[in-house]
Structure 1
Amino acid sequence: MARLVLQKPGEICTNTDSGEHVLLKPEDDPEVQAVASWFGNKPVGEYYTEAIRNSIDYVLDGGRTGRFDLLSPDVHPGERASVGAKLEYEVLRIFNLPKVKPLDTLITDAPVDIKATVGDNWSIPSEAHCQLCICTQIQLKKNRHRSWLVRAHRSWLYRGKGNKDGKRGLAVYARDHWSVPLYDWTHLPINPLRFLTPEQASLVLAEKPGQTKRLLMMFRFLEGRIIPRNVILTVGAGKGDPMRRARQARDAAAREGLTLLCGDWVESREEAAALGIALRSGEWLALSDKSPRPSALNEQPPGAHYAVRE
């Protein structure tokens, strides 16, 4: 990547598409301030967590592939990179934003591009040079994410030919000093299957025995941890109606002294609430008298890769 000598706010940015204009600090840029204010009263980090988890689940396609870890060797680097493309549509959906050209959307009538990376930088396309960009950084190994709002001035992009689409990376100094953080580092929940030992995972994800028995093993191994619906589908990858098999596991679990709660059932939600647990629709929880309570659900397994919770 070519070395970049940054121009500073107050100097002139030369962009052959939009013409010369003055580089502005975020506090002096009316569109930056308007868009930042639009996000100001929203739980942006929480919404982005949901959007990122949905995007990763989409790429892994666990219900068909049985995959649950984006850093696994059986996930192609190109698939990991495609999380950003899916994230754009998830963000538009969750924030109820329109899809509007020439960039990705309009916020307070300002064109905004939505970018994400699972690496260290973003590829800013030529049409987004000197435009507003939301830049999201996803650190899979540290299981966290954060986002900034920045005007991606051409003067703050790395020079050189860029890639074949004319995309260029954003200078770190510009990101750190002339952007508006939308939220700080936010935890990205771990897929509960990452808490299984290799031996346990091989049993739970094996072809045999049948789904009900393997799901029962999973509930036993992950006792006290919330199990999202996507995990049930992953364990039953390629099989018929894994959710029905999970429901059928209740009686067998009860015989082992294990109570299975599901957020789709009122009585389960009430029982979980009595324990201080908010069980959402589609989530499962296996409990016994000796179960660890979900206060430690976000603890990280030693040496684990970091994936999404759902």
Structure 2
Amino acid sequence: MARLVLQQPGETCANMDVSGHRLLAPSDDQELQQVFQEITSRPVAEKYTEAIRSAIDYVLDGQRTGRFDLLSPKVHPGERASVGAKLEYEVLRSFDWPKAKPLDTSISGAAVDIKATVGDNWAVPSEAHCQLCLCTKIQLKKNRHRTWLMRTHRSWLYRGSGNKDGKRGIAVEALEKWSMPLYDWSPLPVNPLTYLTEEQASEILADKPGQEQRMLILFGYLKGVIIPRSVLETVGAGKRDPVRRARAIKERAAQRGLLLLCGTWQEDRDLAAARNISLPRDDWIALPIDKTTNLES
């Protein structure tokens, strides 16, 4: 990228399409401040974490492909990059924001663009230059994510990185100085299948034995780990109703000393809560049974 000498707040922006407007520091940008206050009145990190989890699950399509790791060679780089595009819709759904022109949504009456990247920078389109942008960075290798709110003035975008669509990257210094982080770096949702050895994963995802036996093996390997519904669907890729298969093995799991709990049922959530475990709806966990008390240990 070409080196960018940044203009400072108070100077006139270099955007010739929007004549005469001045660069504003975040503290002086009333519209930005209003949007920031509206967003941060909610559990932002939690909502983004869940949205990213959904976007990654969608791209992996584990219930049909058996894939569970976005960094796997089985995932094409183009698919990996498409997480950002899918995340836009997951964020709109999670926050219950409308899909609204001229950008992606409207928050507190202000037009806002939603951007995400699994790389080093964002591709800010020409229509979002000098507009408010939510910029999410997903660092797959470091297993974390973070989101900033920024007015992406053209003066703070790389001039030399624009493509034929007018998309440009954000200068690192501008992001550091004139954006507002919505939350600190937060851990990405981890697919529990990545905790398995290669040999264990191959065993779990093999065609044989049947689904129920492989799920018993899965819960045995991952005792005490919360198992999302999507993982069961991945284990049963291409098969019918894997969640029903999980329900069917509860007695067999108990014979192996495992208490299977599912967040769909209040009783199971209460049993998990008694062990200081918050079990989300539709998710599963296998806990060792304490035979002396007939409760999980």
TM-score for both structures, normalised by structure 2 = 0.95
Higher mean C-alpha displacement, 55-64 vs 152-161: 152-161
Are 1:148 and 2:148 matched, yes or no? Answer: yes
Alignment gaps of 5+ in structure 1: 291-310
For structure 2, list consecutive stretches of 5 or more residues without a partner in the other structure.
291-297
- Residue 169, structure 1, aligned to residue 164, structure 2: no
Counterparts of 1:246 and 1:161, CA distance in 2: 50
| Number of equivalenced pairs | 290
Measured in 2, the distance between the counterparts of 1:133 and 1:265 equals 40
Aligned partner of 1:196 in structure 2 is 196
What RMSD over aligned residues (CA atoms) do the two structures have, in Å? 1.1
In 2, the alpha carbon distance for the partners of 1:85 and 1:186 equals 20
The offset of 1:268, in angstroms, is 1.5
SS at 1:285's partner residue? Answer: strand
SS of structure 2 residue aligned to 1:173: helix
Aligned to 2:3: 3
> Contact 2:118–2:138 (CA<8 Å) still a contact in 1?
yes
**C-alpha separation in 2, matches of 1:210 and 1:110:** 53
The answer for the alignment partner of 1:120 in structure 2 is 120
Q: Deviations over 1:40-74 (max 9, x none)?
A: 31111111101111111111011111111110001
Offset, 1:248 = 1.3
What corresponds to 1:285 in structure 2?
Answer: 285
> Taking CA–CA contacts closer than 8 Å with sequence separation of 6 or more, which of the two structures ends up with the larger relative contact order?
1
* CA offsets 1:80-127 (integer angstroms, 9 cap, x no match): 111111111111111111111111011111111000111111000000
Residue 183 of structure 2: SS of its match in structure 1?
Answer: strand
Q: Which runs of 4+ in 1 moved over 2 A?
A: none
Within the alignment, does 1:158 sit opposite 2:158 as a pair? yes
Match of 2:243 in 1: 243
- For 2:251 and 2:187, locate their aligned partners in 1 and report how far apart those are by CA, in whole Å: 35
Q: Which amino acid aligns with 1:19?
A: S
Distance 1:268 1:100 in 2: 41
SS of corresponding position for 2:264: coil
1:102 matched to 2:102? The reply is: yes
The alignment partner of 1:21 has SS state of coil
**1:195–1:161 CA distance, 2 compared to 1 (3 A):** closer
Distance in 1 (CA, whole Å) between partners of 2:274 and 2:91 is 34
Displacement of 1:289: 4.3
Letter of the 1:163 counterpart: N
- Quote the Cα distance in structure 2 between the aligned partners of 1:130 and 1:239: 49
SS in 2 for 1:141: coil
Q: Which AA in structure 2 matches 1:284?
A: W
Find out whether 1:264 has 2:268 as its counterpart: no
Deviation at 1:168, TM superposition (A): 0.3
Letter in 2 for 1:132: L
What is aligned with 2:69? 69
1:20 has 2:26 as partner: no
Q: How many Å separate the matches in 2 of 1:172 and 1:216?
A: 48
What's the TM-score, normalizing by structure 1? Answer: 0.91
- 2:132 maps to 1:132: yes
Return the letter of the residue paired with 2:235.
V
Distance in 1 of aligned mates of 2:56 and 2:46? 16
Q: Distance in 1 between matches of 2:74 and 2:198?
A: 15
Q: Is the contact between residue 56 and residue 70 of structure 2 (CA under 8 Å) also seen in structure 1?
A: yes
Quote the offset at 1:201 in angstroms. Answer: 0.4
- Tell me the alpha carbon deviations over residues 196-235 of structure 1, each in whole angstroms, 9 at most, x when there is no partner: 1111101000011110001110000001111110100000
Cα distance in 2 for residues equivalent to 1:25 and 1:280? 40
